[in-house]
Amino acid sequence: MKSRFLPIPLVAGLILCMTPALAHDLWLEKSGKQITLFQGHRHSAHAGAETIAYGKDFVTAATCLDARGAKRPLAILGTSPWTASGECAALLVEASSGYWSKTPWETKNAPKHEVPGAIKSWRSLESLERLETWSAAFSQPLGVGLEIVPGADPFALRPGDKLTVRVFLDGKPQASVPVAYHGETRGETDADGRIAIRLRHNGLQLISASLERPLKDGRADVEIRAATLQFELPQ
């Protein structure tokens, strides 16, 4: 299935015109040993509510990785906001708000065959990987879905430094994918899926990529995937 890679602002604009609730960032906040998933615009370059509620079935999978890269699935308890506890060297969260269909009058959270007069329809898939510490294991893709993979230890960098990342889809590097830093597109990946992103500040770092590809399941016209890499630099 051929993918179409769209500039991040164009993807955001496409989603925004479909439904405002989808034009957002995902991030994880840690408090003690508990970590919570949020969505909204608190760290975005674009305007909007700081946090936006999501449904209890929004999170579809969560994986805790240790420093060796060993995986441990976390429970999905059907809560909103989603929370987890324990120590992970990295945490991967997968989420989906499901199928959406737009008519000339409204946008509904339903597949197109359930929405008479639908003129646009899509399925939304999102993933977020938060790094707590660095391991060479994290320089390799997990091999599922859209991923942004750092090529070196991001915690060794400071504002003004560049971090080279690679974008993968199902374990394969992807060329010509626009990559954004806090919602602002910084360039496209090269033939090997690489791009260097300059880090602008201390604290929370969000690097994201999006792509669209056609669907033939009869429930939506396209699938919109978004992936975010999150880590923090010392203040």
Domain ranges (residues) in the chain: 8-229
Q: Is 13 helix (H, G, I), strand (E, B) or coil?
A: helix
Q: Which of 214, 229, 196, 149 is nearest to 6 (CA)?
A: 214
Phi, psi of 207 (to 5 degrees): -115, 130
235 residues of the chain, pLDDT tens digit each? 555 554 444 444 444 444 433 457 899 999 988 999 999 865 665 556 678 899 999 999 999 999 999 999 999 988 899 999 989 999 999 999 999 999 999 999 999 999 999 999 999 999 999 999 999 999 999 888 999 999 999 999 999 999 999 999 999 999 999 999 998 999 999 999 999 999 999 999 999 999 999 999 999 999 999 999 999 999 8
pLDDT at 115: 96
Q: Which of 30, 33, 22, 49 is nearest to 203 (CA)?
A: 30
31 Cβ contact list (under 8 Å, min separation 6) = none
Q: How many CB atoms lie within 10 A of CB 5?
A: 19
What is the CA 221 to chain-centroid distance, rounded?
Answer: 21
CA-CA-CA-CA dihedral for 171, 82, 131, 182, to nearest 10: 90
81 preceded by a cis bond (ω within 30 of 0): yes
- Got the DSSP string for 101-143? EE-SS-EESS-GGGSTT--EEEEEEEEEEEESS--GGGGS--S
pLDDT at 228: 97
Query: What gap in Å lies between CA 25 and CA 12, rounded to an integer?
Result: 10
